[in-house]
Structure 1
Amino acid sequence: MTDPSDAYDVVVIGSGAAGASAALRAADLGLSVLIVEKEHKFGGTSATSGGVIWVPGHGMDGNASDTREDALTYLRSVIKVPVNEERLEAYIDQAPAMLAFLRKAGVEVMAAAWPDYFPDRPGARADRSVICPTFDGRELGDARYPLMREQFNRFKLFHRYAMDLTETFSLMMQQKGWRGTAAKMIARYWTDRGARANSPRDRRFTQGAALMGSVYKQVFARGVELRTETRLEEIRLDAGGEVAGVIVSRFGQHHEIAARHGVILAAGGFEWNQQLRDRFYPAPGLIWHSSTPEGANRGEALLAAERIGATTEHTEQGWWIPTTSFPMPQASNFHETHQAAFDVGRPWSVCVNRNGLRFVNEATGYDSFGQAMVDDHLRTGANMPCWLVFDAKFRARFSAGGLMPTVHTPERKIPSDWWDHYVFRADTIPLLAQKIGVPAKALVGTVAKINEFAMTGVDTEFGRGGNIYDQFFGDPTVAPNPNLGPIDTAPFYAVPINNGDLGTKGGVRCDARARVLDGEGRPIPKLYAAGNNAGSPFGDCYPGAGATIGPAMTFGFVAANDIAERTGNLRA
């Protein structure tokens, strides 16, 4: 089991944004690095994400006026639970340094106009999110580019053609010229004959794949070794109680790898471990509601760390996002999870619990929507799932999770087994209420109120459409409020909305230097964690687009710096 030659300065567990950032920084500082990834493909959940990085004070474009004090003021106004203030401040201080390092290392980034998720709070801005432009996957090499984890079908046009964020919003909102956008995407793919000869995968890496492709180009250029199909089994301690390496398995064979200076846990959260969900979460939820890659993040690294004394924090929280479940095309007994993050806040719709009552501003940030589902369920027992109710105008224009608008999927193309099982339809609101088991009088009253709000443009119950974030994802052609429209055109529809997630917010407890802490609050020597493997510095909050990847990459960077400082390798 032991091979004395299998030793590295740093062993990174997990190949997502946190692990890639840690590996890139450590290798750039002259340390030998191995990345261990249990899945067949690398890139982690990050490669399937939107690829946005939330970095207050990044200084690009108009962000130069964003101050440390503004960022901390904003965060302290939106975080509702106790957090490690030193760790929070370390994030604000180190995130711009991390981004500057990425740019210096050769990773191209650009600022994105994306409002913070609580735009009315002091210190909020609309320029803290950062993205990577489209990346040519073949820059990783013809052998490697098909091995990066691929985007979900929901992020591709017709399950095939990669979409960047601009194309996504053009198609999603059916903006002017959207058909031309789609035609260009299709033509671009089929005229790329060189890529088609190598792989059916679109070589245009967009969103999370663009981020991970850009970073991994630099990771591989620095000689970092990557082993896939290699699962963490145990964190090994030496006689003095310091982390000395890991025991891994590959296709059933166990093997020990020595880590001379540190192990960095970056293996994601535990959203695909039902036992851990039941152990930590206050309200019910199933692994199948998660929108992360199926079966990937099962908490093995968290459990391995707990076995050597690590403690956890914020494990009752998830990075919530509303999701729906629909059958796979041509395989109706298998299901796909679809995000409904922005669908629930579109005009001509309303979300209700199983009592037929609203419980949230439907256009709020998706994490806040999920928190409202949890709170309402704990209060009423009538949520999780809730219902998205909409009319024919919504159906013609917008998606409802996995139900595409009629321009893409007309009624005649909806499989017969979907009706009254995955999507419900009726000619009146009372009949729809009967089908979905919601009190008809309550639902009729809720719809009547929404229709009144749509006429005045003011939602006096929850303030839907009352701020820049809500309006950013509304329909600008709808007045007087882009997030409100009367639900008055038959037929009427409903789909169940689950409290899904983008991963878990909780994990092992770490300090400001990304060191994993034991029950006494002491660092476990040479053990670090970043990303969803660690507790979020934001506690229960999702402050802005990219607030998962931002801390992941920052504390991966911080962990590598701490290891390099201990070994005398740290430099600017």
Structure 2
Amino acid sequence: MEQIFDVVVVGSGAGALLAAIRAADAGLTALVVEKAEVAGGTSATSGGGIWIPDNHDMARVGLSDGVDAAFRYVRACARGLSSDERILAYVETARHMARYLDQLGVRYKSMPKYSDYYPGMDGAMPGGRTMDPADFNGALLGLEGLAQLRPTNPGQLILGRMTLNAFEAHSILSRERSAKLKLMWIMLRYAVDYPWRRKTKRDRRMTGGQALVGGLLAALRKRRVALWLGTPLKSLQTEDGRVTGVLVERDGKPVAVRARMGVLLAAGGFERNQAMREQYLPKPTDQAWTATPPGGNTGDAIRAGESAGGALHLMSHTWGAPTLSVPKEDRFRALFVERSLPGCMVVNAAGRRFLNESCPYPEFQQAMFADQASGGGAIPAWIVFDAEFRRKYPMGPLGPGEAQPDHRLPKKWQGSVYWKADTLAGLAQQIGVDADGLAASVARMNDWAASGKDLEFDRGGNVFDRYYGDPAVKPNPNLAPLAKAPFYAIRLYPGDIGTKGGLLTDQDARVLDGAGQPIPGLYCTGNNSASVMGPAYPGAGSTLGPAMTFAYRAVAHMAGNPIALERTDLLDGAMKAGVL
């Protein structure tokens, strides 16, 4: 028997859940279908940040922004690979979506010191556009609701148990004066919450993507929106060129679901589909390198949308990040911040640096591919650091040596997770890197550390680089010598936190066909869709921010109240600039 809803949402990440909640608030019936046995998708394992220009919390931290600057910045980042209408729709609507999250009880704070990723570009800001979710009390979900939420990545937990938010992570990694007190408070808070820990090992205090998805799940449950877990999409249903519903598999049986207003695809990208990676992405490519949860993001919804006539765009692009393998973890870890700390550097097979180690993570991944293509041998690459770095800072799964010395690491990790030698020559031999090249690179790095100026790649030369540097290190918080034995290395791969190519959509998240016309009844958001940011990554939160913003706009369109573009003068100006 066919079931009927106004809106059917495929996927259960942040964009999917927000769409279903928004539909319920608009008086529509909604169904969320998710093929995994837990909800949250990649969103639940993310940092939870959203990139929101001109957001409502900027005034609190003494900042101001405007649609004009944000439009210029994103348009420059997109490099002509995203329509001006979509870009304008995003920079106008994102702030309204963020206020809606606040009304739902999913509160965010502006990060005044977290710079846009390309601070030298027109319209960029040195901070404030990235927002981090406020802590969420997991007890509000109850144990049943908590069991439905996908757990976070092990790399985002202290000792595999305790959570911390982005502000605390920055303080601890950059060794601020208050860092030790904050770390002690985190551990004490968890320790004294014994009644909760008797019920579950998961921390009651949710941060990052757990706070975001936890808050959205609580809002979804409050509205009694149907959530079908373990329910994969099999195909889209169409009649006379219109998408009218979905065919899913539930309890091993096919179930047809009609969608009166529309179907929203929000089921992630295709990074876990090796065949699609081989078809579309730069080589070499391996689904094992990705940092997203196994079993998901296999491109099913993208293929379903393509079968319904949807056009594909940006399929050769990913949200790139260097990743590394950790034993017993079900996915690779992304290396986001440790590479900015002073006293480390990254080299290729020739022992040469080939990039600014502190650059945005997508640029890091792209530099690995470029160096590999030119014969430098950066796949894999090696991050090298000395004993002083090891003592003071974390690196991937290695905690700071002063808290987790080598003898407390699993013995089998040496030579598989990390490599260690008393000399640079010995380290080079172990990891298969040219010894003379490595020695020369270290000598140059030590010179740059003394002068404070990296004459090769200008590491530490902008506000974004310096955010995760160590302010106690002078004259450049991102540069310190590699001088104290023993020396260490960890292997890095050109991984990702998702693909950014998918179904091409318009400013209302409607899927477009090959002729650029909307397919009636079919909408798409998140990594199911081609990114509004084009090939770039304007700032932290450039995945989740658009996913929820275009979900917000999609539901408005389905409900018959499309959100009009306000600053159409910017479109006219952009067109004139293009002509000239």
Same fold (TM over 0.5): yes
1:566, distance to aligned residue in structure 2 (A): 6.8
* Structure 2 match to 1:36: 33
Matched residue SS, 2:494: strand
CA spacing shift, 1:335–1:394, aligned 2, 3 Å: farther
8 Å Cα contact 2:75/2:87 also seen in 1:
no
1:397, distance to aligned residue in structure 2 (A): 1.5
* Structure 1 match to 2:271: 271
Q: Distance in 1 between matches of 2:172 and 2:296?
A: 29
8 Å Cα contact 1:324/1:402 also seen in 2:
no
Count of residues paired in the alignment: 559
* Structure 1 match to 2:334: 339
8 Å Cα contact 1:327/1:336 also seen in 2:
no
Moved more, 121-130 or 401-410: 401-410
* Structure 1 match to 2:158: 157
* Structure 2 match to 1:501: 496
Pairing 1:99-138 to 2, within 5 Å after superposition: 99-113=98-112, 114-125=114-125, 126-138=127-139
8 Å Cα contact 2:31/2:227 also seen in 1:
yes
* Structure 1 match to 2:469: 474
* Structure 2 match to 1:145: 146
Matched residue SS, 1:532: helix
The AA in structure 2 aligned to 1:108 is R
Q: Which runs of 5+ in 2 are unaligned?
A: 564-580
The AA in structure 1 aligned to 2:136 is F
Q: Does 1:57 align with 2:58?
A: no
Matched residue SS, 2:332: strand
The AA in structure 2 aligned to 1:484 is L
Q: Does 1:413 align with 2:408?
A: yes
1:339, distance to aligned residue in structure 2 (A): 2.2
Q: Distance in 2 between matches of 1:193 and 1:412?
A: 30
1:59, distance to aligned residue in structure 2 (A): 3.6
Q: Does 1:96 align with 2:91?
A: no
1:64, distance to aligned residue in structure 2 (A): 6.3
8 Å Cα contact 2:12/2:40 also seen in 1:
yes
Q: Distance in 2 between matches of 1:166 and 1:57?
A: 20
Q: CA RMSD in A?
A: 1.9
8 Å Cα contact 2:553/2:562 also seen in 1:
no
Q: Distance in 1 between matches of 2:541 and 2:400?
A: 28
Q: Distance in 1 between matches of 2:282 and 2:80?
A: 15
* Structure 1 match to 2:245: 245
* Structure 2 match to 1:377: 372
- Alpha-carbon displacement from aligned partner over 1:298-348 (angstroms, at most 9, x marks no partner): 1111111112221211111111111111212xxxxx665222111222211
TM-score by length of 2: 0.93
The AA in structure 1 aligned to 2:130 is S
Matched residue SS, 2:73: helix
1:385, distance to aligned residue in structure 2 (A): 1.4
Identity %: 40
Q: Which residue of the other structure, out of 6, 15, 18, is the alignment partner of 1:18?
A: 15
1:419, distance to aligned residue in structure 2 (A): 2.0
The AA in structure 2 aligned to 1:388 is I
Q: Distance in 2 between matches of 1:192 and 1:65?
A: 40
Q: Distance in 2 between matches of 1:458 and 1:72?
A: 33
The AA in structure 1 aligned to 2:470 is D
Q: Distance in 2 between matches of 1:441 and 1:384?
A: 19
8 Å Cα contact 2:291/2:496 also seen in 1:
yes
Matched residue SS, 1:26: helix
TM-score by length of 1: 0.94
Matched residue SS, 1:363: coil
8 Å Cα contact 2:50/2:540 also seen in 1:
yes
Q: Distance in 2 between matches of 1:289 and 1:252?
A: 31
- Alpha-carbon displacement from aligned partner over 1:165-185 (angstroms, at most 9, x marks no partner): 233234434443544433332
- Alpha-carbon displacement from aligned partner over 1:540-561 (angstroms, at most 9, x marks no partner): 1100111111100001111101
Q: Which residue of the other structure, out of 9, 17, 23, is the alignment partner of 2:6?
A: 9
Matched residue SS, 1:264: strand
* Structure 2 match to 1:190: 191
* Structure 2 match to 1:331: none
8 Å Cα contact 1:146/1:199 also seen in 2:
no
Q: Distance in 1 between matches of 2:562 and 2:111?
A: 37
1:458, distance to aligned residue in structure 2 (A): 0.4
CA spacing shift, 1:341–1:107, aligned 2, 3 Å: closer
* Structure 2 match to 1:78: 77
The AA in structure 1 aligned to 2:7 is V
Pairing 1:333-372 to 2, within 5 Å after superposition: 336-372=331-367
Q: Does 1:550 align with 2:549?
A: no
- Alpha-carbon displacement from aligned partner over 1:266-286 (angstroms, at most 9, x marks no partner): 001111111111111122121
The AA in structure 1 aligned to 2:348 is N
1:81, distance to aligned residue in structure 2 (A): 5.0
The AA in structure 2 aligned to 1:36 is V
